[in-house]
Structure 1
Amino acid sequence: VAALLIAAGRPRPRRRPGGVRASAAELRALRARHEDALALVRSRSGQTLLVLLDPQDLRRFYAEPVSVLAADPPQKCRGLSTHEPGRDGDGPGCARGEQRPERRRMSADVLAAGLPVHPAAGPILTVVAEEARHLTATGTLELARVRRAVNRAARRIVLGDPAAEDDELAGWLTQLRAEDGRPRGGRTRAARSVQDKARARVREYVRHAGDDTLAGRAARHAGPVDTTDPDGAVDPADEARLWLLAMDAVPDTLLRTLLLLGAHPCEQDAAAAEASAEVAAGGARGELPRLRACVRESLRLYPVVPDLIRVTRGETEWRGVRHPAGTAVLLPAAFHQRDPERVPAAHVFVPGRWKNPAADRDIRMAPFSHGGGRCPGDQLGLMITAAFCAEVLRGHRITGTRPVLDPVGPLPVTLDPRGVRLTLTRR
C-alpha cells in the first residue's frame, strides 16, 4: 500500500493510524476511478504494480500456481498466517513457496490440516493451561508477559517439555525474527551463525522428542534423515524450527483478542461461559467455536500480513491486457477485509459473522489465505490461541483496558500490541 502513496507522489506513510487510513482512502479512490478494474501504478523505483480491487481478481490471485504467480522476494510470514514463504527458505512460510511435495505432505500431516481439533489436542491443551498460569499471576497483562508464556508453550508443543527452559534457544529465535524484519538483503554472517546454532539445538531436541510433540510427529513422518544430502528427505528439525518461528504472531493476536473482548463485555461474558462450560462438560476438548470466532475476527481487523505481493513469472493476461514477466501483483488484504463498501460493520468487532460456514470461504476474508496457499496450521493456531483466551477468561474478568476502545464506534485501523495493557480481576 505504501508503494501506491509513493506512486501518487506522496511521502511514505509512517506506521500510524492516520497513515493507514490515508492508504485505504487512496485505494477506495483508485477503485472508484477504475470502476473495479485492475489498477496499474508505478512506484518511484520503476516497479510496476498491478493492484487487485475486485473480488473476482482476488479469487484468481489465490488460485494461480507459483509457476504463474510467485513471491518475489519471498515474503516473511509470521504466526497464524503462514501462506507466504520466508526469505532464504528460513521464514515460517509454507504453502505458497515452491515446496517439495514431501514438505507439503509433512506439514499437512503434522499440523493436522483441516481438522478443528488436533489429534494431540490433549497434551497441547495441557501445556497451554500450565503456561497460561503465568498470564494471570498478577492483575495486569501486557505483551512481554504474553510473549513469554506463548513462546514457552510453543517450545513445549513443538520440541517437548525440556525446551521450555531453554532461554538460549529462545534468544536465538528472537534474533532470527528480528533479522526477518529488517530490510531485504542476504543474512549477515552473525545471523547465519545464529541460524546454524538454532538449527543444531533444535535437531538435538528432535532426536529425543516425544510422540505427542510436533517434532516427534514429524520425525515419524520423515523417517531417518541423511543431513549430508540437501536434496534428500525433509529434515524434521528444519520444519520444527520453522513452526517455532511461525508462532511469533500468536502473542499479538492473543492480546488483541483479549483487548477486544475487554471492550465488549457481552462478548466477553459469552466467551467466558463457553470456556467454563467446556470444562464442566468433562475436560478440555479444544473446540471453543465462539472463542475461535473472536480470534478470527481479531485477525480480520488486524491481519498478520496486511498486503500480499507476488510477481508474474512470465507474460500474463489479466482482463484482456497482457503484462510482462516481473509485474508485481498487489492484493491489499487488510483493505478488503475492512472495506466498508462491501463488508458489513467493517470497522466493528462482530465475531458472530464467523458462525456462518460460508464466512471462511469468503474470498475477501483471508487471515489464512485460500486455495492451495491456505496455511495448513490454521486450525492448530486457532485452537492454541482460543485455548489461551479460555484459560484467562475462566477465572478472570477483563475490567480495564488500555487503549480504551469504543464498543460501538469504528475501531482503530492499527492496534500496536506493545501499547496494550489489560486489568484482570478474579471472577
Structure 2
Amino acid sequence: MRTLHEAVLDGLPEDLAPAARSQGGGAAMTGPGTTQSAVSRGQQARAGRAGSVRFAAGRALPLFVRGRGSGGVRPAFTADALRALRARHGGAPVLVRGLSGAVLVLLDRQELRQFYEAGPATAPAPALGAVPSRAAVRAVIAEEARHLTAAATLDLVRARHAVARAARRIVLGGGGGGCDGEGGAGEEHPAGLFGRLRRRGAPEGHTPLGRSAAYAGRQGQVLRAMDAVPATLLRTLLLLAAHPAEQDAAAAEAAGSGPAEDLPRLEACVRECLRLYPAVPDLVRVTRTETEWRGVRHPAGTTVLLPAHFHQRDPEHVPAAHVFVPGRWKTPGADEDLRMAPFGHGPGRCPGDRIGLLITTALCAEVLRRRRITATRPVLDPPGPLPVALDPRGIRLTLTRR
C-alpha cells in the first residue's frame, strides 16, 4: 500500500499519430491488402509479437528513462500502441502477452459499462457513508494551509507535509497519535472528525469489536484517499496558473464562500485535473467466472485491463481531450459519464472519493485565498495539448501575497 511519503507517479505517455486502419497487423489476411477481424469470426483478438512488444515497451520503458528529478514529460509510447491495437482489431478487446502474462485490454468504450458493472474480483471496500461536514473539514484545512503558503515556493515536499498533518487531525485527532508513535496500540482518538462520527452512533456494528473494526476500516480508506491529494493539489494549481482567468475565478469563489458552502467551480477544476492526470491510470481486475466480451468467451482468472487514462484522453470520444476544460463537469450527469472516470464507476468506485475531493478542493481554496500563483515549473502552454504526464516531484509554484 502506498504511503503519503511515496512518490505518486501516474499518467500514461502521450499518444502519437493514430495508426492507419488499413495496416492489418494482428488480423488474419483474407486477400491482398485486406483483413478480417478475428472477433467477427468468433475468435480471440490477439496482438502479434510486435504489438505485444510495443505495448510492453510503452508501459515499462518510461520507468527506466524517467530521471529522478524529472518534470514528468515521458516518452510517447503507450497511447500510440493502444490506438494501433484498436485500429487493427476494430476496437475489440485484445489479448496481449506482457512481462507478467496475458492481459485482456479493453480498447473501446463499448466495453466500459460491462467492466464497471462487473465490479472487482474481491469484495469492494464499503463506501465511507457519513463523512465529516464540509465546515469541519475546511476548518482543519484552513489551519494546516498556513504551512502550504508559509514560503514563496510550493512543492511536493511541502504539500505532503501539510496533507499529512491534516490527515492526522481529520482521522486520528489533533495529537496525531499513532502516526508518530505517540499513542498506544488500539488507542482511540476521539478528537478526530471520524472519531466524532463514531461516537454519535454511526451504524457500524453492535459490539465494541465490530465498531472498532469498522472505524479502523474508515481510517485506512481516508488515509488511502489522501495519499493522492498532494500530487493532485499541485497539478490543479499548476493548471490554474496556466489559465489566469480560471485562477482568478476560482480565487474569487474561495474568497466569497463560507466554511459550509460548496465550491462548484474549484471542485470542477479538481475533477478536470483528475481526468487529465488520474491517480490510477490503469484499472486491472481478474475475472471470477467465465466472461464474454464481444461474443468471445474468456476463462475465469483472466486479467482484464481498462486503460482509464487512455479513454479519458481519447480525442475520438472526448471533446477537447487534451485541454483543461473544467466546465465539462458542470454538465448534468457528467459524474456518471463512463468516458470520464477519475474515481471509477459501479461497485469498484473509489470509496474515499467524496472525502478526497472535499479535502483537495478545500486545500486549493485556501492557497488561492491567500496567494496568487505567479510563476511555475514546468511552464504549460494552454493553447496546445497539455502534456500527458506531470510528475509532481518536478512541479514548483511561486506564490505571491494577494
Shorter-chain TM-score: which interval?
A: 0.7 to 0.9
Opposite residue 236 of structure 1, the aligned amino acid is Y
Contact 1:215–1:237 under 8 Å retained in 2: no
Partner of 1:398: 373
| 1:144 counterpart SS class | helix
Any residues of structure 2 matched to 1:139-178 within 5 Å, and which?
139-163=152-176, 166=177, 169-170=179-180
Partner of 2:190: 209
Any residues of structure 2 matched to 1:22-421 within 5 Å, and which?
22-45=77-100, 47-66=101-120, 70=121, 97-98=122-123, 104=126, 107-111=127-131, 118=132, 120-163=133-176, 166=177, 169-170=179-180, 201=184, 203-204=186-187, 207-210=188-191, 213-218=193-198, 220-221=201-202, 222=204, 225=207, 227=209, 234-278=213-257, 283-421=258-396
Contact 2:275–2:340 under 8 Å retained in 1: yes
Structure 1 gap ranges (5+): 71-96, 112-117, 171-196
Residues 31, 202 of structure 1: alpha-carbon distance in 2 compared, 3 angstrom cutoff = farther
State the Cα distance separating 1:238 from its structure 2 match: 4.1
- How many aligned positions are there? 344
User: For 1:154 and 1:233, how far apart are their aligned partners in 2?
Assistant: 19
State the Cα distance separating 1:155 from its structure 2 match: 0.9
Residues 201, 321 of structure 1: alpha-carbon distance in 2 compared, 3 angstrom cutoff = farther
User: For 1:403 and 1:243, how far apart are their aligned partners in 2?
Assistant: 30
State the Cα distance separating 1:201 from its structure 2 match: 4.6
User: For 2:302 and 2:168, how far apart are their aligned partners in 1?
Assistant: 40
2:24 matched to 1:14? no
Residues 342, 395 of structure 1: alpha-carbon distance in 2 compared, 3 angstrom cutoff = same
TM-score, length basis structure 1:
0.74
State the Cα distance separating 1:108 from its structure 2 match: 3.4
State the Cα distance separating 1:369 from its structure 2 match: 0.7
State the Cα distance separating 1:39 from its structure 2 match: 1.4
Residues 225, 202 of structure 1: alpha-carbon distance in 2 compared, 3 angstrom cutoff = farther
Structure with greater helix share of residues: 1
Residues 264, 400 of structure 1: alpha-carbon distance in 2 compared, 3 angstrom cutoff = same
Residues 19, 385 of structure 1: alpha-carbon distance in 2 compared, 3 angstrom cutoff = closer
| 1:367 counterpart SS class | coil
Contact 1:202–1:241 under 8 Å retained in 2: no
| 1:203 counterpart SS class | coil
User: For 2:226 and 2:212, how far apart are their aligned partners in 1?
Assistant: 24
Opposite residue 356 of structure 1, the aligned amino acid is T
User: For 2:76 and 2:184, how far apart are their aligned partners in 1?
Assistant: 44
Q: Percent identity?
A: 58
State the Cα distance separating 1:151 from its structure 2 match: 1.0
User: For 1:122 and 1:379, how far apart are their aligned partners in 2?
Assistant: 14
CA RMSD, aligned part only?
2.6
Contact 2:73–2:387 under 8 Å retained in 1: no
State the Cα distance separating 1:224 from its structure 2 match: 6.3
Opposite residue 31 of structure 1, the aligned amino acid is R
Partner of 1:81: none
The one-character-per-residue Cα deviations of 1:272-303 (angstroms, maximum 9, x if unpaired) are 1111111xxxx222410000010001101110
Tell me which structure has the larger Cα radius of gyration: 2
TM-score, length basis structure 2:
0.79
